[in-house]
Amino acid sequence: LAAALVFAIRSRASIWQMVAAAGTGLAIPLAWWFTSSMARQAFEPVQVEGVTFTGPSADTLMLFLSPPGSQLDFDIGLVPGVFLGSFLAAFLTRELALQGFEGGKSMARYIVGAAMMGFGGMLAGGCAVGAGVTGASIFALTAWITLTGIWLSAALTDKALSFT
């Protein structure tokens, strides 16, 4: 936390950016607290879990593709909540803008990258949020291995794209 504050102050982050970053970081422990609270009150077993995005995205998609689908729960509420929250934040801060691709080459690169990330996230049993950040919050060794792989892959990709 102290290091994050030092970096935020050095980069001249606004108070709003610092509050938003703190809120994002608090999402992980709040998810652990919320699901454990629900587990204590439920008659049926409820898995205590943190925040993940890949699995809930698939569950939300299946809810719309094959009604009646899954029951509404924390995971399914997370996906539209993130989109609605980010839309509202951009709207309220007057940063809402329509953006597009710079050309066919960029679009193809983004689509291939998104497909590879989705495949990797489902193969790994979680995305960077679930397998990395949430797992790291409980010091799971596999999460740190995943995060290291993500960081190295991002660095190699950045290096490869700088040559094009």
| pLDDT (0 to 100) of residue 115 | 85
Closest CA to 59 of 39, 38, 45, 80: 80
Burial class (CB in 10 A: 0-12, 13-18, 19+), 79: middle
H-only helix segments in the chain: 2-10, 15-41, 54-65, 74-92, 104-124, 135-137, 141-162
Which DSSP category does 53 fall into?
Answer: S
pLDDT beneath 70: ranges in the chain: 68-70, 124-126, 128-129, 164
Query: pTM for this one?
Result: 0.56
Contact 54, 118 (CB under 8 A): yes
**Are the C-beta atoms of 59 and 133 separated by less than 8 Å?**
no
Q: Which residues contact 80 (CB under 8 A, 6 or more apart)?
A: 60
Per domain, the residue ranges of the chain are: 103-164
pLDDT at residue number 27: 80
For 79-92, what is each residue's pLDDT tens digit? 888 889 889 989 99
